[in-house]
Amino acid sequence: MEEKYFEISSDNLKKFVDRIITDNYEVIAPTDKDGDTFYGKISKFEEANLDILLPKMSYKEYLLPKTETLFEYSISGVDTEVKDGLQGITGANEKRVIFGGRPCDAGAGPIMEKVFNWDYKDEFFNERFKNLTIISIACEKPDNYCFCTEMQLSPESSYGSDILLKKSGDKYFAIVTGEKGLNLVKAYSDLFAETTKDKVPADKDWKKIFEIEKTKSFLDKNFEHNYFQERFLSCIGCGVCTYTCPTCHCFDIQDEGNLKEGRRIRNWDSCQFGIFTLHTSGHNPRVTQGDRYRQRLMHKFKIYSEKFDKYLCVGCGRCSRNCPEDIDIKEVAKNLAEMA
Amino acid sequence: MENIYLPKLAEIKEIIQETADTKTIRLSIDGKSIDFLPGQFGEFSLIGEGESTFGFSSSPLRKEYFEFSFRTSGRATTGINGLNEGDKIAFRGPYGNYFDTSKMHGKDIIFVGGGIGMAPVKSIMEYCLDERDKYGKITILYGARTVGDLLYKNIFDEWKNHKDTEFVVTVDPGGETPDWKGKVGFVPTILEQLPLKGENSIAVVCGPPIMIKFALKTLEEKMGFSKENIITTLENRMKCGLGKCGRCNVGSVYVCKDGPVFTAKELESLPNDF
């Protein structure tokens, strides 16, 4: 579908959100909790915090929960009963809307979709992803950790959003990218007014401070470069970069329960932990924190793009903002590009 | 809608205690083996204790069963170790690429296995022995640290007695017993003494990383095997086996999907990350 364009006043946007909630939509939006802002379910428009640049965490957990039941089991004697986790999948609700996220977070879904459908199809991810409607708001002021423009997106990118809202005075322009967004607009057509592309303010000329292709070309040739070992000596391996990342999707599979009943689950995991790659023999292909941070850079800026034609990073900068050692991945990627 | 993480249940037909801490377990589903190719692997588990990754160790041509060999080491393998014949094991697979036997037809083959790394070698080797006429001379070199660490002792005679097949077994120096009749020496050292040439030959190698490293060097530099004709299988820690969980990659290569079987030529282009 070609993009379609609408206008909606700030008042009507509030009405729109309140009305879809009344109509049983589950609306997930940035909302304040425990002195910080996270994506969470809201029960009215006022609970959404649209002033914050980015919530602490991305909404990855709505696509890939921190813990997910792959199946439940019960065993008695020689009989094993297994209950398929897909049957009881949670959060694959057709009426689920992510409201007020940013273009970087919106970009993560279609990027991750590739690895979850590479040959084997992960229907846990797919069921949630296909049912999610994403209404994002373009950013007006990225901060110093942001680098979405370098990551082939921009503060005004509509990639991954069903509807992108761009604020203009006391109204918003709504850029509708596909059927899912259009159906929602049509269902509440009294609140939206159709307009044309030329009325929508043009995107600003966002400047890049480095070329990601150069970062990749450094990584292509310098696996053994001493930079990795030296720069990441300060990394304490806490894994916060991977947990707060919208695109980091690596997971562990564990059994929880006993030999009579329980469940097999998958949990978020992190390439920053030594045990992530530890062999039974004691051998570990990635021994140092330098090896492990290099893997994260390689996966994001080289490996994923070679396999799936997309970088595994949207430039949200959460890994840098939340890093206890202030490792700024934008600065790292820029350094690598300069050394290329 | 298929749940790719859901295992099937396989029945334990036979358990062979190979060494003090290793076993081979023969499985079947509805009295039959499953379709797989040599070099592929699966995820095996006693449900409740977690999954482990093992390569198949039997020939796919043996249609009544499929088997794997394992060392009891952690929680998952301790669980499997406690099972008896008739019990069920949960299984997912087969996964990964495989040894392409069509490229080996008419050629001489040397199989080199070290320790429990012999398991995947046994699968391809028995596959070839099951169709013995399709190949030239077959040489089998198997080594372990000590006599007590050798798996598959109960079928050594079966391997030895095929026509045009030489079977050489060795243990590391100091690992021999007083009545040991095999060789004493590291695998790469014994390999070098074998009367083999790289011409029209294929080498299949699996074992601990240090053995693979030196065996590859010997095959290439001293015996004249080309890198394309040396085939090995890598192992890496895995969880899903499906190219999603993100831990088994070596550079841009996912061992679970692009591997686990690689030629020495392919390994050469990978970064030192395994």
Segments making up each domain of chain B, as ranges: 8-95, 101-233
Q: Output the pLDDT for position A77.
A: 81
B133: distance to nearest CA of chain A, Å?
A: 36
Is residue A212 within 8 A of residue A315, CB to CB? The reply is no
B48 with A73: Cβ contact below 8 A: yes
Domain boundaries, chain A: 4-200+208-339
Q: How far is CA B196 from the centre of its chain?
A: 22
Q: Output the pLDDT for position A18.
A: 98
Q: What are phi and psi of A99, to 5 degrees?
A: -115, 130
Can you say whether the dihedral through the CA atoms of A213, A219, A220, A222 is positive or negative?
positive
In the DSSP assignment, the letter for residue B204 is E
Q: Output the pLDDT for position B41.
A: 97
Q: Output the pLDDT for position B54.
A: 96
CA A230, CA A325: separation in Å to the nearest integer? 14
For an interface test with A, give the residue of B47, B68, B257 to mutate (most A CBs within 10 A).
B47
Residues 147-186 of B with CB under 8 A from A: none
In the DSSP assignment, the letter for residue B254 is E
- Interface A:B, Cβ pairs < 8 A: 131
Residue ranges of chain B with per-residue pLDDT less than 50: none
What angle in degrees, to the nearest 10, is found between the helix axes of A212-221 and A329-339? 70
Q: Residues A207-237: pLDDT tens digits? A: 999 999 999 999 999 999 999 999 999 999 9
B271 with A224: Cβ contact below 8 A: yes
Question: Looking at the partner chain, which of B6, B87, B250 has a beta carbon nearest the beta carbon of A84?
Answer: B6
A257: distance to nearest CA of chain B, Å?
A: 6
CATH class of B101-233: alpha beta
Question: If you measure CA to CA, which chain A residue comes closest to B253?
Answer: A303
Residue ranges of chain A with per-residue pLDDT less than 70: none
Q: Output the pLDDT for position A281.
A: 86
Q: In what order do the strands lie in the sheet with B22-28?
A: B51-55, B41-45, B88-95, B8-17, B22-28, B66-71
Question: If you measure CA to CA, which chain B residue comes closest to A85?
Answer: B3
Which pair of tokens denotes residue B159? 């391997």
> ipTM of this predicted complex?
0.93
Q: Residues B137-149: pLDDT tens digits? A: 999 999 999 999 9
CA B274, CA B253: separation in Å to the nearest integer? 11
B47 with A264: Cβ contact below 8 A: yes
Q: Residues A99-141: pLDDT tens digits? A: 999 999 999 999 999 999 999 999 999 999 999 999 999 999 9
A86 with B239: Cβ contact below 8 A: no
Dihedral angle computed from the Cα positions of residues A208, A212, A215 and A219, in that order, rounded to the nearest 10 degrees: 170
Which residues in chain B are closer than 8 Å to A262, comparing Cβ atoms? 48
Residues 218-247 of B with CB under 8 A from A: 235-237, 239-240, 242-247
CA B120, CA B62: separation in Å to the nearest integer? 15
- For B118-176, the DSSP string reads HHHHHHHHHHHHHTGGGSS-EEEEEEESSGGG---GGGHHHHHTSTTEEEEEEE-TT--
Q: What is the mean pLDDT of chain A?
A: 96
C-alpha angle with apex B30: A88 to A257, nearest 5 degrees?
Answer: 40
Which pair of tokens denotes residue A72? 């439940």
Homologous superfamily (CATH) for B8-95: Translation factors (2.40.30.10)
Locate tokens 């999948």: which residue? A89
